[in-house]
């Protein structure tokens, strides 16, 4: 395994580092101010449009996309350090068009979409002219086991008719969201993993109703997490993604690289939290000396450095495996980094919050927000226990 940077990565890291320092970090408070002043809190703030224009000029665009001819053409290993750097800011990935759920949706459109679907949805997503949502989870069933999904996709002549209730449909409240990738049951009699299909629904189709915007520990995300009712939503049969019954296989294709991206960005969040923790500990004095001189704080700092470096190596190994042996070969490692990266990032952010005292739980720093994100991401995209189940199954299998 060789984890040294390629010449492309080194160049892009240099450009991205300057972009983050000169544009993204200074834009963070402006982004919040513009959102607070907007009539619609889900509309993209002007500052983000400016950041995206600049990122495009600099060639910092769609870096996540590993499919030929669609993005920068980086491997996962090349993208990993860039995703980490961009993850240091909560608005970083949106600035370079690498944010969920669009990345996963672009991934599956590239892999399974027809030429017509690609022209209508993928191209505008790559150009960030539209945004998208992914509707799988349902409030009424345990959705970590996707075989439980009850929403229906029923064939009717040249159309499909969709019914069901979804929630935590991220991105749906953004007025630029024009596409919903919907997962539902198309054949209840088929074998368990062939019952589900994925279909493309225009966000403004009659019968799509956003009932509410769900919070994340009280924070309302700019993109919004919708609870959405689908009532007799009719779309042409050509909107089926892949073939009927492919839903499960497509979902796996979507979530593999997506989990890597989350893990990479979590390392960035952890690094930023550690930076903040060290600086605060040096400048804040209690009981006759700076916090940075206290043994307990020094231990938090040291443990954070060890844990971050451990997960970075695991992420790089998973990226290397995906690049060299394919996503399936990296299954256990991808599950491992989804758990480990988020747990470490959350632990580091939590120590930073403690070091900041009351300021840590206010909104004066980015820490409270990161605390919520790193906790929620231990549930979103598959709860930790489901990934642990996968790792344990593969491990035990070796000994049968």
Ligand X SMILES: Cc1cc2nc3c(=O)[nH]c(=O)nc-3n(C[C@H](O)[C@H](O)[C@H](O)COP(=O)(O)OP(=O)(O)OC[C@H]3O[C@@H](n4cnc5c(N)ncnc54)[C@H](O)[C@@H]3O)c2cc1C
Binding site for ligand X (CB under 6 A): 101, 134-137, 142-144, 168-170, 216, 225, 376, 379-383, 385-386, 389
Comparing CB distances to ligand X, the nearer of 268 and 382 is 382
Instruction: Answer yes or no: are the C-beta atoms of 362 and 368 closer than 8 Å.
Output: yes
Residue 113: which residues within 8 A CB-CB, separation 6 or more?
121, 122, 241
Q: Smallest distance, Å, CB 104 to ligand X?
A: 9
Continuous segment of H or E residues that includes residue 368? helix 367-376
Give which of 358, 103, 132 is closest to 111, Cα–Cα: 103
Comparing CB distances to ligand X, the nearer of 190 and 388 is 388
Q: Smallest distance, Å, CB 372 to ligand X?
A: 9
Q: Smallest distance, Å, CB 376 to ligand X?
A: 4
Comparing CB distances to ligand X, the nearer of 221 and 307 is 221
Q: Smallest distance, Å, CB 318 to ligand X?
A: 20
Residue 155's DSSP bridge partners are: 160
Give which of 310, 156, 342, 137 is closest to 239, Cα–Cα: 156
Q: How far apart are CA 202 and CA 229, in angstroms?
A: 14
Q: Smallest distance, Å, CB 138 to ligand X?
A: 7
Comparing CB distances to ligand X, the nearer of 303 and 389 is 389
Q: Smallest distance, Å, CB 363 to ligand X?
A: 18
Residue 185: which residues within 8 A CB-CB, separation 6 or more?
149, 150, 151, 152, 153, 195, 196, 197
Comparing CB distances to ligand X, the nearer of 316 and 367 is 367
Give which of 342, 195, 191 is closest to 270, Cα–Cα: 342
Continuous segment of H or E residues that includes residue 374? helix 367-376
Residue 195 three-state SS: coil
Comparing CB distances to ligand X, the nearer of 283 and 385 is 385
Q: How far apart are CA 400 and CA 398, in angstroms?
A: 6
Query: Which residue has tokens 């224009």?
Result: 53
Q: Smallest distance, Å, CB 230 to ligand X?
A: 13
Query: Which residue has tokens 């499960």?
Result: 248
Q: Smallest distance, Å, CB 239 to ligand X?
A: 18
Query: Which residue has tokens 């593999």?
Result: 256
Residue 287: which residues within 8 A CB-CB, separation 6 or more?
none
Comparing CB distances to ligand X, the nearer of 16 and 376 is 376
Give which of 162, 158, 233, 154 is closest to 186, Cα–Cα: 154
Comparing CB distances to ligand X, the nearer of 379 and 391 is 379
């Amino acid at each position: 395994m060789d984890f040294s940077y390629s010449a492309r990565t080194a160049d892009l890291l240099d450009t991205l580092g300057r972009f983050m320092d000169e544009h993204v970090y200074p834009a963070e408070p402006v982004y919040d101010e513009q959102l607070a002043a907007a009539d619609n809190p889900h509309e993209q703030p002007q500052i983000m449009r400016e950041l995206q224009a600049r990122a495009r000029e600099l060639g910092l665009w769609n870096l996540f996309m590993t499919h030929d001819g669609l993005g920068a053409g980086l491997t996962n290993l090349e993208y990993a350090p860039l995703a980490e750097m961009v993850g240091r800011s909560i608005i970083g990935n949106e600035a370079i068009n690498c944010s969920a759920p669009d990345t996963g949706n672009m991934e599956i459109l590239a892999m399974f979409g027809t030429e017509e679907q690609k022209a209508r949805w993928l191209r505008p997503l790559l150009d960030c002219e539209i945004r998208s949502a992914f509707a799988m989870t349902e409030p009424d069933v345990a959705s970590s086991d996707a075989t439980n999904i009850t929403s229906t996709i029923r064939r009717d002549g040249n159309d499909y008719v969709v019914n069901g209730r979804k929630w935590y449909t991220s991105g749906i409240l953004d007025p630029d969201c024009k596409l919903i990738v919907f997962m539902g049951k198309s054949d209840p009699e088929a074998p368990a993993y062939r019952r589900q299909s994925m279909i493309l629904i225009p966000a403004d189709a009659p019968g799509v109703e956003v009932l509410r915007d769900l919070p994340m520990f009280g924070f309302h995300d700019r993109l919004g997490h919708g609870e959405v009712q689908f009532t007799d939503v009719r779309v042409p049969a050509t909107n089926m993604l892949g073939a009927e019954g492919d839903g499960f296989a497509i979902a796996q294709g979507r979530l593999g690289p997506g989990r890597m991206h989350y893990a990479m960005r979590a390392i960035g969040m952890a690094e930023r939290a550690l930076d903040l923790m060290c600086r605060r500990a040096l400048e804040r004095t209690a009981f006759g000396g700076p916090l940075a001189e206290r043994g307990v704080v020094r231990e938090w700092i040291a443990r954070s450095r060890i844990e971050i470096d451990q997960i970075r190596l695991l992420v790089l190994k998973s990226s290397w495996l995906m690049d060299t042996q394919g996503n399936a070969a990296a299954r256990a490692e991808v599950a491992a980094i989804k758990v480990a990266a988020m747990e470490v990032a959350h632990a580091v952010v939590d120590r930073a919050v403690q070091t900041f005292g009351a300021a840590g739980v206010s909104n004066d720093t980015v820490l409270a927000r990161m605390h919520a994100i790193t906790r929620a991401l231990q549930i979103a995209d598959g709860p930790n226990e489901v990934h642990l189940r996968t790792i344990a199954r593969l491990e035990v299998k070796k000994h049968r």
